[in-house]
Each structure stands twice: as C-alpha cells, then as structure tokens.
Structure 1
Amino acid sequence: MNFISSMLQDLLNTLFSYTGDLGVSIVLITLLVKLILMPLSLKQKFAMRKQQDLVENMEHIKEKYKNNTKELEKQIQQHSAETMKSMLGCSTLLLQMPIVYALYNTFLNMPHNDRSVLIPWISSLNVCDNLFIIPCIYTLAMLAPNLIGLIPYFKASSKVAFNKHMVISTAIMSFILTAKTPVAIGLYFITSSIYSFVEDICFKIYIKQKNKLSFN
C-alpha cells in the first residue's frame, strides 16, 4: 500500500510540475487512475448486469417448472452455478480498493498548500469549503446516477424503481462526507463521481444498442 501511495505521490508531483495547478493535477491523476481501472470496472458492470438477468431467469424457471419438481431442481442447480460465476465477477471491485484507497491517502497527506484555478474562492486545497459549494457539487454528482432511469431513452430498460428514500440518504451522506474534508479530497470525489456517471451512461447505451441488435 505504501508503495502505491509513494508512486501516486510522485505522479502527482510530476503532473503539478507540468500544470502548475494542484487542483488540475488532482483531476488529471484521478482520471488517469480511473482509466487504468476501467477494464475492472467494466467487468464488474457486466457481472452485475448478468446477475440481474439471472435473478429474472430464476423467477421464470420457477414459474415454468412449478409442476415439475425434478426438472425444477435440475434447472436451479445449473442456475446456481451461473450465479456463483457472476458473483465472482462482481468481486473485481475489491481489486480496485487498494489503488483507490492509496489515491485518497495521497490527497489527504499532500504537502502542498496551494489554491487552484478550478476553485478560486478557496485559499488552500488543504482546508474545507466554508461556502459549501464543493459539497453541493459532489452531492449533485452522486445523485446523477439515481436519475438515469428517469431519462426517456433509458426508462424502458430500467427495471429498478425510483427510490426517493435512497436519493435523500445519498444526498445527506454525500454532503456530510465533503462538508468538513479538505477541498483536495472533494475534488477527487467530484472527479471520480462524474467519471463513473459518464462511464455508466456509456455502458447503458452499449447494452441498449446490443439488445436492440439482438432483437433485430
């Protein structure tokens, strides 16, 4: 873990020497790490998508073979094996955690005490935002994925109902998380959330187009 943190710190310093702006450097290194981890992230998304399909198939199997116990048990065994494989695919999130934690730790222990053109109202990236602009932006970035299902293009394919309580909880937790943390961490959270949102949109478009081609 210390090795990864040291490597990220060196990379951050290199980017800072080129950009001359610590805030821009934080955004760039966050995007770079996200791009490196993208294969794992996409693998996780495909696994979660498959998991959802398997849950739906299980309901269909139970209904189809409800009067044939022997065939039902056979189908459930086959389905369980596929479910285990899919769950292993979802575990790729754990492989990302050490790098994400090291990146967070790098920003938390930054020796620099600079301002950034990205947030001119802040005198130093090591202080919190007393105007609460950063927490508000992060909260909106975190709420964005919950609103994808409301977009007409995705609404037909969305099988998850809009959860008002989940949205409220997400908003409160997101605001609290960044209200008293250094602005550098807030920039990292915002960049990471926006990237994940864009990646999720692109993934949903790909799945929708794939399903359309399969249907045709």
Structure 2
Amino acid sequence: MDFISSVLQNLLNILFSFTGDLGLSIVYITLVVKLLLIPLSLKQRFSMVKHQNLAEKINHIKEKYKDNTIELERQLQKHSTESMKSMLGCSTLLIQMPIIYSLYNTFLNMPQNSASILIPWISSLNVSDNLFIIPCIYTLTMLAPSLISFIPYFKVSSQIAFSKQMAISTVIMSFILTAKTPVAIGLYFITSSVYSLIEDVCFRIYVKHKSKLIIN
C-alpha cells in the first residue's frame, strides 16, 4: 500500500511540475489511474450484465418449472456454475480498492494552501467547500448514470430499476461524502464519477449495438 501511495505521490508531483496547478494535476492523475484500470472496469461491467441476465433467466426457469421440483433443481444446478463465475467477475472492484485508497491518501497529504483555477472560490484544496458547490456537483454526477436510463436509447433491459429510495440514498450519501472532506477529495470524486459516466454511456452504446447485431 505504501509503495502504491509513493508512486502516485511522485506522479502527482510530476504532473504538478508541468501544470503548476494541483487541481488540474488531481484531474489528470485520476484519469491516468482510471485509464489503467479500464480492463478491470470493463470486466466488471460485462460480469454485471451477465449476472443480471442470468438472474432473469433463473427467474424464468423457476416460473416455468414451479410444478416440477425435480426438473427445477436440475435446471438450477445447471446454471449454478455460470452464476458463480459471473459473481466472481463482479468482485474485480475489490482489486481496485488498494489503488483507490492510495490515491485518496495521496490527496490528503498534499501541501497546504494549494489553490486551483478549477475551483476559484476556494483558497485551498485542503479545506472543505463551505458553499457546498462541490457536493452538489458530485451528487449530480452520481445521479446521472441512473437518470440517463430514462432515455430509451441508453436503457439496458437487464439493468436494475431506479427507484425513489435509490435516488434519495444516492443524494444523501454523495452529499455527506463530500460536504466536510477536503476539496481535493471532492475534485477526485467528481472526476472519477464523470469518467465513469462517460464509460457507462459508451458501454451502453456498445451493448445496444451488439444486441442489434445478434438479432440481425
């Protein structure tokens, strides 16, 4: 963990030497880490879609063989291995946690009195945003992936339905997470969530296009 933090700190210093702005450096280093994690991120997305599709298939099997216990058990056993594989794919997020933690720790140990042109109303990236602009932006970026699901073209049939409870939970958790934390951390969260939104949109387009090719 210390090794990863050291590498990221050195990378942040290199980026700062080029940009002269710690805010921009945070955005760039976040994007660099995200791009390096693309293989794991895509594997996780494909596994989630596969797991959701499999869950729908199992529900269909349960309904179809609800009066035939023996055949139901045989069919469920047949799909159990596939279900385990898809769930293991979703666990790739755990592999990313040490890197994310190290990145978080790197931002916490930044120099004092570091301002940025990206956030002109804040005198230092080490303090929280008393105007709560950063928490509001982060909350919107976290809600965006679910909101675009209401656009017919981006809707994936296997996705989990978005409810009011989920919306409220997302708003509360996102706001709390960034309300009292240093702006540097909020900037990291916003950059990360915007990147994830773009990746999600691209992934949805790919899934849609692939589905059309299969149908044709």
Aligned residue in 1 for 2:5: 5
Alpha-carbon distance, 1:86 to partner = 0.8
Match of 1:29 in 2: 29
Distance in 2, matches of 1:33 and 1:141, equals 19
Q: Is the CA contact 1:41–1:93 (under 8 Å) kept in the aligned structure 2?
A: yes
In the TM superposition, residue 64 of structure 1 has moved relative to its aligned partner by: 3.0
Rounded to whole Å, the distance in 1 between the matches of 2:156 and 2:20 is 46
- Secondary structure (helix, strand or coil) at the match of 1:120 reads coil
2:124 is equivalent to residue 124 of structure 1: yes
1:206 maps onto 2:197 in alignment: no
> How many pairs does the alignment contain?
216
2:140 corresponding residue in structure 1: 140
Question: What is the one-letter code of the residue matched to 1:189?
Answer: F
Is the alpha carbon distance of 1:158 and 1:87 closer, same or farther for their aligned partners in structure 2, counting shifts above 3 Å? closer
Partner amino acid, structure 2, of 1:208: K
Correspondences of 1:162-181 after superposition (within 5 Å): 162-181=162-181
- Identity among equivalent pairs (%): 75
Contact 1:149 1:158 in 2 (8 A): no
Aligned partner of 1:93 in structure 2 is 93
Q: Measure, in 2, the Cα distance between the counterparts of 1:159 and 1:32.
A: 28
- Helix, strand or coil at the partner of 1:212: helix
- Paired residue for 1:74? 74
Distance 2:125 2:55 in 1: 45
Q: Show CA shifts across 1:17-48 (max 9, x none).
A: 00111000000000000010111011011111
Gap regions ≥5 residues in structure 2:
none
Distance 1:156 1:4, change over 3 A: closer
Distance 1:159 1:128, change over 3 A: closer
Q: Amino acid of the residue matched to residue 108 of structure 1?
A: L
Q: Structure 1 residue 161: deviation in Å?
A: 2.6
Say what the alpha-carbon RMSD is for the aligned residues: 1.4
Higher mean Cα deviation, 146-155 or 76-85? 146-155
Letter in 1 for 2:40: L
